[in-house]
Amino acid sequence: TIHVVHPDQWQDWLKGQPPRIRTAISAHKLTGKAGNRAVLPGEGPEDWAMLLVCDEAETSPFRIASLGEQLPEGTYRLANGEPGAAMLGWVLAQYRFDRYRKDEAAQGPRVLLTGELGRIEETLRLAAATFKVRDLVNTPASDMGPAELEAEVEALAKSHGATLTVTRGDALEQGYPMIHTVGMAAARGREPRLIELEWGNPDHPRLALVGKGVCFDTGGLDIKPSAGMRLMKKDMGGAAHAIALAGLVMAQRLPVRLHLLVAAVENSVAGNAFRPGDVLRTRKGLTVENTNTDAEGRLILGDALTRAVEGKPGMILDFATLTGAARVALGPDLPALFANDDALAGAMLDAGDGVKDPLWRLPLWDGYDEMLKS
């Protein structure tokens, strides 16, 4: 049994406990501060319980997530009420990336009992999508290049009867020159490509999901320092999000005409890598003077977004690990949101707040347009 107690309810809860519980709490020197936790003795081994003092609201998915990660295998239930939204946090906390581990015995399941049967399917669906994102991002670039991203989208297309189109080689150079330019220095077998999936009734509103798929980012000729390059396998995180979200949309058969676009490249260093100062052609017909080869994400997204707009979607959502400056400004817990539609931005901010997964809107400031001119 798990007792989850809010600090404001601590004294009332404590008064209702038997002497053995109060004695144990006194021995642990617990004060009812958020984060306090202890194992509570029962009359027998099967009656022992877990106490967690938590100031998260009952609707928070993360209220008991830490317990889902730390408790030993077994079956658990909440002492009061149902887990509600916290069911998701419990499942997410049990994620492990063990693809390359062969010497570690798998921990048994930590099962949380609930009577909310209607929540179970949705919770597992969301958790599976989140695990997909984590697996794709955690996989090292040696096993997660443009070809592997293509294979992920291909598998998704086969599962849901969607149409897959992949543009590479000469067709990519002609039709999507910035995607080609950024990725052309990659080794054989890791060539750049634009991966597209289309699904749904053409009469339904068109939704475009666009993902930045830089499978590894050295920075190019403006090479990153070692510390800055260490985790750059994650630079395809935007593509991972777009792929997993597309899977959710199709699994729930939402009434949309879905268009998924993944610009998959590796920003490598080689004799044919693009250079600082190069003027690049774009699919839209504009030219771009690139002054830093480590600004590759916005280049490949430029061509992918141009392609998305050609389909006249009602909404475009693009996901990208952009930028380091946004992380400096907002820290690791607040993803930056840019939008050109106030109503849509407000709806997304409200949705994030509602599931305790907040976003923070940053401006698209017209006054900076002049600074983009070469």
Q: Do 105 and 144 share a domain, yes or no?
A: no
Q: Is residue 292 part of a domain?
A: yes
Domain span at 29: 2-116
Number of domains observed in the structure of the chain:
2
Q: Do 257 and 189 share a domain, yes or no?
A: yes
Spatial CA neighbour of 276 closest among 292, 297, 294: 292
Catalytic site includes residue 132: no
pLDDT bracket for residue 104 (50, 70, 90): low
Instruction: Report, as an integer, the average pLDDT of 272-289.
Output: 97
Q: Is residue 365 part of a domain?
A: no
Q: Do 140 and 247 share a domain, yes or no?
A: yes
Q: Do 130 and 109 share a domain, yes or no?
A: no
Name the DSSP class of 327: H
Tell me: pLDDT of 106 over 70: no
Q: Do 30 and 165 share a domain, yes or no?
A: no
Give the domain CATH number at 270.
3.40.630.10
Catalytic site includes residue 234: no
pTM, rounded to two decimals: 0.94
Render pLDDT for 205-239 as a digit per residue (tens, 0 to 9).
999 999 999 999 999 999 999 999 999 999 999 99
Q: Which of 224, 234, 356, 361 is catalytic?
A: 224
Q: Do 112 and 131 share a domain, yes or no?
A: no
Q: Which of 37, 134, 234, 298 is catalytic?
A: 298
Give the domain CATH number at 50.
3.40.220.10
Percent of the chain with pLDDT over 90: 84
Residue found by looking up tokens 């992949």 in the block: 166
Distance CA 223, CA 216 (A): 12
Residue found by looking up tokens 């090479």 in the block: 223
